[in-house]
Amino acid sequence: MTHIRIQEFRGDNPDLIDGLCLHPDDPEEMLEVMTPYMEARKRWLRETAGKGLRLAVALGPEGQKLGLMECVPIELAAEAVRGENSLFINCLWVLPAYWKKGVATALMNHFNLVPEGNPTGSRLPGGPGAGGVTVLCYEGDRWFGYFSYMPARFFKKFGFEEVDRDGSRVLLHLDLRGASRPSLLRPKTRPDACSSLGRHVVEVLYNSQCPWAGWMIHGIKRYLGQFDVELRFLNTDDRAVAEQYGMTRGVYMDGRPLIARLAPGREVARIVKRHLGDQ
Ligand SMILES: CC(C)(COP(=O)(O)OP(=O)(O)OC[C@H]1O[C@@H](n2cnc3c(N)ncnc32)[C@H](O)[C@@H]1OP(=O)(O)O)[C@@H](O)C(=O)NCCC(=O)NCCS
């Protein structure tokens, strides 16, 4: 697509993301459930703006929104990763109607992450101001069943290389000479999270970075209602919680990690049911 324009989030214009993370054509129920989580995301954006967050929205020739990209210093990553002097891509998202038209490439170029024609070249003047760029991708996982979730193949085209892996979670890094090698946190077993009153405990970890966490929570409440389990919800905006669990978004059951990503309630219910059946 020609004439892609980029608009940056300045800290005081969080409405810039309206119509992207949540689209007006999404089903009524989704809009209703996720709107409060969208507000939480906007609050989080405002708070994180002063700490190095950068968010850019791609606009088409008529000013229509096409997609967004969001980066933070890796210490503030929305995912369970560890590193230093690296910029972490929290999210890259293009509306499906505009896929394969160069929108994501325009966003990557805007952030000046990759020296053009030389993906493994040295740090750029005017580049990200970090020694590397890191992103968490998934192999084979689908975003709430819809499409490839942060596909590794896309980022590898830009010279990103695998530096760590845990099941389908693949950590990619683009070394611009200066970042230490980042790594994934592994979900930890938590023997102290035992059943209360003899019931199984399902813990749901989420954060404010993405409103779809709200859709996960809604789905889990709906589909796990049929099981005799105690549900607990933990916000991992507090980094200490993320470090305790080795996870920022996902599901635990009786102190054991079941899923280490955002997931639809139906999928979580299927896995919980299997574990209940095993006991
Ligand atoms: C991956 C994604 C960002 C690509 O956006 P896009 O605007 O279609 O990408 P571009 O048009 O700039 O494509 C650049 C290159 O990547 C390739 N590519 C595009 N989508 C790809 C995919 N899903 N897997 C692998 N390669 C892909 C294109 O073919 C193109 O390669 P080429 O230059 O050799 O032709 C987009 O499909 C998307 O948003 N997916 C969902 C991402 C996600 O899970 N976000 C978190 C949830 S909000």
**pLDDT tens, position by position, 198-215:** 789 999 999 999 999 999
In this structure, the answer to whether residues 26 and 136 fall within a common structural domain is: yes
Ligand 1: centre distance to CA 142 (Å): 14
Within 6 A (CB) of ligand 1 lie: 91-94, 99-105, 143, 147-151, 153-154, 157
Residues 24, 144 share a domain: yes
In a domain, 195, yes or no: no
Q: How many domains does the chain have?
A: 2
Cα(199)–Cα(117) distance, rounded to whole angstroms? Answer: 57
Q: Residue 168: give its domain's CATH number.
A: 3.40.630.30
Q: What is the domain-level CATH number for residue 220?
A: 3.40.30.10
Same domain, 142 and 233: no
The verdict on 66 and 140 lying in the same domain is yes
CB 69 within 8 A of CB 89: yes
Structural domain boundaries, residue 73: 5-184
* pLDDT tens-place string over residues 21-78: 999 999 999 999 999 999 999 999 999 999 999 999 999 999 999 999 999 999 999 9
Residue 125 located in a structural domain: yes
In a domain, 60, yes or no: yes
Contacts of the segment 124-130: beta carbons below 8 A, 24+ positions apart:
124/176, 127/176, 128/71, 128/87, 128/176, 129/87, 130/73, 130/85, 130/86, 130/87, 130/176, 130/178, 130/179
Between vectors from CA 92 to CA 88 and to CA 94, what angle results, nearest 5°? 170
How far away, in angstroms, is 269 Cα from ligand 1 center? 30
Residues 208 and 175 in one domain: no
Domain shared by 168 and 207, yes or no: no
Would residue 29 count as lying in a domain?
yes
What pLDDT digit, counting tens, does each position of 113-165 carry? 765 544 444 444 445 567 899 999 999 999 999 999 999 999 999 999 999 99
**With a threshold of 0.75, does the pTM exceed it?**
yes
Q: In this structure, are 142 and 46 located in the same domain?
A: yes
Average pLDDT, the chain: 91
In this structure, is residue 144 part of a structural domain?
A: yes
Is residue 190 assigned to a domain? Answer: no
Domain boundary among 123, 156, 184: 184
For residue 120, the model assigns a pLDDT of: 47
Query: What are the tens digits of pLDDT across the range 253-263?
Result: 999 999 999 99
List Cβ neighbours of 68 (8 Å cut-off, separation of 6 or more). Answer: 17, 20, 21, 55, 56, 57, 58, 91, 92, 93, 107
Q: At what angle do helices 212-223 and 28-49 cross, to 10 degrees?
A: 130
User: Is the domain of 148 the same as that of 273?
Assistant: no
d(CA 126, CA 124): 6
**Ligand 1 center from residue 156 Cα (angstroms):** 11
Q: Are 48 and 174 within one domain?
A: yes
Which of 71, 99, 111, 135 for mutating ligand 1's site (highest number of atoms within 8 Å of CB)?
99
Establish if 192 belongs to a structural domain.
no
Domain-ending residue, one of 156, 184, 212: 184
Same domain, 11 and 87: yes
Indicate whether 132 belongs to any domain.
Answer: yes
Reduced to 3 states (helix: H, G, I; strand: E, B; else coil), residue 167 is: coil
Do residues 36 and 112 both lie within one domain?
yes
* 120 and 237 inside one domain: no
